Amino acid sequence: MTTAIQQHLDEIREIAAEVLEIEPEEITETSSFAEEHEADSLRAIEILARIEKKYNVEIPQAELPKMVNLRAVYDVVAQHAGWAA
């Protein structure tokens, strides 16, 4: 994994952890926000909003259902931010 990808993953992990009121270490790339970290729709929108603000990117709310875990969030953000794979 490249340094840039890891850095972005860590940043998104921090955002998600703060919104979900848990420690960043509790979030793995594949742990389910809803089932394992008690995320509801409002918290999902909050994660989306914070990511949009941090990276100055617009992500359609239609993408929300895909953003079920850290890796999935990264993939959605990378697509809309134009981050190289």
Partner 1 sequence: MSTPRLLDAGIVVTGVGPVSRHAIGRAELAGVATEWSDSPARDEWLRPLDAFDAARRLGRKGWRALPPAARYAMVAARLAGEDARLDADLDGNLVGVVLGTNFAADETVDRFDRAVLAEGVRGISPLEAPNFSINVAASQVSVDRGYRAFNITLIDLFTAGSSALWTACQALEDGRAPVALAGAAEGRPPRQSTEVLAPTLDEGAACLLCLETTDHAAARAARPLGQVRAGAQLFVPAAVVEAPDRLDALTHSLLDGAVRALPAGLSGVDVDVVRPPASARAEAVAAAAIRWTAARTDAALVGGPDGGRAAAQASATAPLRLASQLARRTTASRALVQVVIGPEGHLVVLVLSPTA
Residues that bind partner 1 (CB under 8 A): 19, 21-22, 38, 42-43, 45-46, 49-50, 52-53
Q: 11 or 46, CB closer to partner 1?
A: 46
- In the complex, the smallest distance separating the C-beta of residue 80 from partner 1, rounded to whole angstroms, is 16
Going from the C-alpha of 37 to that of each of 16, 18, 43, 82, 83, the distances in angstroms are 10, 12, 11, 28, 27
- In the complex, the smallest distance separating the C-beta of residue 13 from partner 1, rounded to whole angstroms, is 17
| Residue 22, token pair as written in the block | 């848990």
- In the complex, the smallest distance separating the C-beta of residue 46 from partner 1, rounded to whole angstroms, is 4
With contact defined as beta carbons under 8 Å apart, do 78 and 58 qualify?
A: no
